[in-house]
A and B are shown apart, each in its own frame.
Chain A
Amino acid sequence: MRVALRGLTKKFGEVVGVHELDLEIRSGEFVALLGPSGCGKTTTLLMVAGIYRPTSGQIFFGDRRIDHLLPKERGIGMVFQSYALYPHMTVAENIGFPLELRRSVSNEERERRVREAAALVQVDALLDRRPAQLSGGQQQRVALARALVKRPDILLLDEPLSNLDARLRHEMRGEIKRLQKEVGITAIFVTHDQLEALTMADRVALMRDGVLQAYATPTELYARPVNQFVAEFIGTPPMNFFAADLAPRNGSLVARTEGIELALPAGPRGAKAPPTATVGIRPEHLAIVAPGQGEASGEVYVVEPMGREQIVDVQVGERRLRVIAPPGFVAKIGERVGLRFAPEQLHLFDPASGARLA
């Protein structure tokens, strides 16, 4: 089912939780609400769920406006960060609870659907356990089964993976993504972890301070961030930034700062280029070359081997640039190196507004 948020706003007293949020989610799409804590992503989800009442704005499921409806009238299933399993009920009772509250579902049908939902997330062997007798991963699966058992139109997940350990998180990441496609349900999930958002979602809505910053596919978000915040938030290790003066040369632009001189392949479009800009480049788009070569030179500050690659911090004048180097790279701390910038991978941002220049 298609979901549309129009001018959705939530204020807590004077504090603005979410400001004028417009978002369209296509039917069957898996969308991540991403952002640092306090950005309004969970508030947004709770408004979609009907637990918070929007201060203003509208929510549509399909063509139906639903922001005045109770949670139970919205046709949603929800998985909470804490899983919110009822501790006094068995797994079967937990999963069956939403159906039990519906008079129209007979006991036999309920039992059948509980078994179906449990089998879907592979907890059918645990039906007589209580939540306290389950591991975190099993609780997560039960919570998913409970959300899906009533066959909702929309699945909402609030930080579904944050309570799991790293290995299990990876496993459930794939599991939830597969499940969402398998069931074909429109799903919205909230996360503060950009890796989770990028790996799981079809599209990511990145929020900050209650305002939507970007709404795009993971690839677009990564490759062409619309502003400096998006560029900073997406990607590990984060993008390198430095301020540079822009000057024309031979009909093109050159970004210049202490120790670095970059020819910009395609300068900011429009009549006049600003005199300064914030230049951003991702660590994987920098390469370490012999001293004297490349566009910058500096000395190795620290090397962090990661197995598949190494993160090398290079001190260039006053600033430190992070570079991803191949595993074979060997360098001593303090060694002089050159840095080569991948020219097509430079991002320019307005130093004042943070908006993308090119």
Chain B
Amino acid sequence: MARTEAIALPRERQGAAWWRTNATALLFMGPAMVLVLVFFLAPVVITFVMSFTDLATSTGLSNWQWIGSANYERMFRSQFWFTILGNTLVYVAIVLAFNVVVGLGVALLSLHVEPKAGGVFRALWLLPRISPSVVYALMWTWAAASPPFGMLNYIVAPFGLEPRFWLQSDPWLIVILINGFVGASFGMLILTSAIKAIPEDLFRAARVDGANALQIVRRITLPLVKWPILFVLVYQTMSLFASYEYILLTTNGGPGLYGTETWSVWAFHTALANYYGNLDFAYGAAMSAILVLLGLGISIVLLRVFRFGQLVAEPRVEVD
């Protein structure tokens, strides 16, 4: 009603009418909008703005200046950016694959065994996620400790592998496993509930139609959890690009110069844990800005690949 009246009103009163119509909606959405603005949008904007200054410990909050794209030029003139980008892409790709494949595998396996056993199995896979990050990382550092210690050394001994200091000799393996096992539980949770949500009748119908277990997984289950898989993929891509805590707590970017340094660890080291003591906030912000763009770009590609538009398309229903 209010809307139709507004059309008939003189122009200067239309603003007031608009407010009357939408005030309630705005009031209800207000708190959520404030949260999104303050905690999601503002940090991104601040990061981008900051990346065009020289803000650092040395300038303090008062003496900084606009320096244009100097931070970006410096970044891409650095002899390490390419190595670090490579590290990042390899890290994200392998851990992502581990997360999704293992998560899906655990979800499928745990749903194909006796329900109670499956539940226990899934609970075990959740342990890395529910233990505090630092504790989990410390356990890995100890498990991968130098000989004669380290649980890993004991595990591989029967296979004839020489005991070694894993964090030094195979840093990527440790970095991928520590992140992979945590991340797999996320995929497992999402995909387990997604598979459980598929009506039982579809599996029964497929069995009557003549499909075996493998054919059911490939032809029925996987296509029907395509959307949750896409969600896990995109979400994990984003969080992996931004993740740094386990690398920081185990290899700290090493061994050597930037051995396992990823882009986010680089940004962290530059902005917040600089070796030289001059915390280069603005330069770190520029690195983070690149990370945001990278994550965004790859997510868009993933959405395209999965044809997101088709997934959420309106069904055409015709009543006969």
**B223:A76 contact, CB within 8 angstroms:** no
Partner of A84, one of B202, B211, B226: B202
Assembly CA distance A102 to B209 (angstroms): 10
The residue on B at minimum CB distance from A130 is: B315
**A101:B315 contact, CB within 8 angstroms:** no
CB-defined contacts of B220 to chain A, threshold 8 Å: 86
A66-80 near B? 1/0 per residue, CB < 8 Å: 000011100011101
Cβ of B12 < 8 Å from any Cβ of A? no
Are A133 and B317 CB-contacts (below 8 A) given A51-B207, A97-B209, A101-B215? Answer: yes
Between-chain CB contacts (< 8 Å), 24 pairs:
A49-B204, A50-B207, A50-B208, A70-B207, A71-B204, A71-B207, A71-B210, A84-B199, A84-B205, A88-B224, A97-B209, A98-B210, A101-B210, A102-B210, A130-B315, A132-B317, A133-B316, A133-B317, A135-B317, A135-B318, A135-B319, A138-B318, A138-B320, A146-B205
**B208:A76 contact, CB within 8 angstroms:** yes
**A51:B317 contact, CB within 8 angstroms:** no
Q: Dominant SS at the B interface?
A: helix
CB-defined contacts of B205 to chain A, threshold 8 Å: 78, 80, 84, 86, 146
CB-defined contacts of A50 to chain B, threshold 8 Å: 207-208
A87-102 near B? 1/0 per residue, CB < 8 Å: 1100000000110011
**How many B residues have CB within 8 A of the partner chain?**
23
B210-222 near A? 1/0 per residue, CB < 8 Å: 1100010001100
CB-defined contacts of B207 to chain A, threshold 8 Å: 50-51, 70-72
**A134:B208 contact, CB within 8 angstroms:** no
Cβ of B5 < 8 Å from any Cβ of A? no
* B202, B208, B215, B317 — most chain A CB neighbours (10 Å): B208
CB-defined contacts of A134 to chain B, threshold 8 Å: 317-318
The residue on A at minimum CB distance from B224 is: A88
Cβ of A27 < 8 Å from any Cβ of B? no
Cβ of B73 < 8 Å from any Cβ of A? no
**B319:A84 contact, CB within 8 angstroms:** no
Assembly CA distance A120 to B319 (angstroms): 20
The residue on A at minimum CB distance from B317 is: A133
CB-defined contacts of A345 to chain B, threshold 8 Å: none
**A146:B317 contact, CB within 8 angstroms:** no
Nearest-Cβ distance from residue B308 to partner chain A, whole angstroms: 15
CB-defined contacts of B211 to chain A, threshold 8 Å: 72, 97, 101
Beyond A84-B204, A98-B210, A138-B318, 9 additional contacts (C-beta under 8 Å) are: A82-B199, A82-B201, A84-B201, A84-B202, A86-B220, A88-B223, A129-B316, A133-B318, A135-B317
**B315:A133 contact, CB within 8 angstroms:** yes
Cβ of A137 < 8 Å from any Cβ of B? yes
The residue on B at minimum CB distance from A102 is: B210
Nearest-Cβ distance from residue A284 to partner chain B, whole angstroms: 35
Listed in ascending order, the chain A residues whose CB lies under 8 Å from chain B are 46, 49-51, 70-72, 76-78, 80-82, 84, 86-88, 97-98, 101-102, 129-130, 132-135, 137-138, 146, 150
Assembly CA distance A260 to B207 (angstroms): 58
Assembly CA distance A82 to B226 (angstroms): 22
Partner of A49, one of B208, B210, B219, B224: B208
Partner of A132, one of B204, B224, B315: B315
CB-defined contacts of A137 to chain B, threshold 8 Å: 320
**A146:B316 contact, CB within 8 angstroms:** no
CB-defined contacts of A138 to chain B, threshold 8 Å: 318, 320
Near A by CB (< 8 A), chain B positions 173-227 give 199, 201-202, 204-211, 215, 219-220, 223-224, 226
* B204, B209, B223, B317 — most chain A CB neighbours (10 Å): B209
The residue on B at minimum CB distance from A165 is: B319
Partner of A86, one of B202, B226, B316: B202
Assembly CA distance A49 to B202 (angstroms): 14
Assembly CA distance A150 to B207 (angstroms): 14
**B204:A51 contact, CB within 8 angstroms:** yes
Nearest-Cβ distance from residue B290 to partner chain A, whole angstroms: 38
CB-defined contacts of A88 to chain B, threshold 8 Å: 223-224, 226
Assembly CA distance A98 to B215 (angstroms): 12
CB-defined contacts of B317 to chain A, threshold 8 Å: 132-135
The residue on B at minimum CB distance from A147 is: B208
The residue on B at minimum CB distance from A88 is: B223
**A72:B319 contact, CB within 8 angstroms:** no
**B209:A72 contact, CB within 8 angstroms:** yes
Near A by CB (< 8 A), chain B positions 264-320 give 315-320
Assembly CA distance A280 to B81 (angstroms): 92
Assembly CA distance A71 to B206 (angstroms): 10
Assembly CA distance A49 to B200 (angstroms): 15
CB-defined contacts of A81 to chain B, threshold 8 Å: 201
Near A by CB (< 8 A), chain B positions 41-99 give none
Nearest-Cβ distance from residue B317 to partner chain A, whole angstroms: 6
Nearest-Cβ distance from residue A62 to partner chain B, whole angstroms: 19
Are A80 and B204 CB-contacts (below 8 A) given A87-B224, A101-B209? Answer: yes
The residue on B at minimum CB distance from A137 is: B320
The residue on A at minimum CB distance from B315 is: A132
CB-defined contacts of A97 to chain B, threshold 8 Å: 206, 209, 211, 219
Nearest-Cβ distance from residue A51 to partner chain B, whole angstroms: 5
Assembly CA distance A50 to B202 (angstroms): 15
Nearest-Cβ distance from residue B218 to partner chain A, whole angstroms: 11
Assembly CA distance A137 to B204 (angstroms): 21
Assembly CA distance A309 to B65 (angstroms): 93
CB-defined contacts of A46 to chain B, threshold 8 Å: 204
The residue on A at minimum CB distance from B320 is: A135
The residue on B at minimum CB distance from A101 is: B210
**A72:B318 contact, CB within 8 angstroms:** no
Nearest-Cβ distance from residue A122 to partner chain B, whole angstroms: 10
The residue on A at minimum CB distance from B226 is: A88
Assembly CA distance A72 to B219 (angstroms): 16
The residue on B at minimum CB distance from A78 is: B208
CB-defined contacts of A129 to chain B, threshold 8 Å: 316
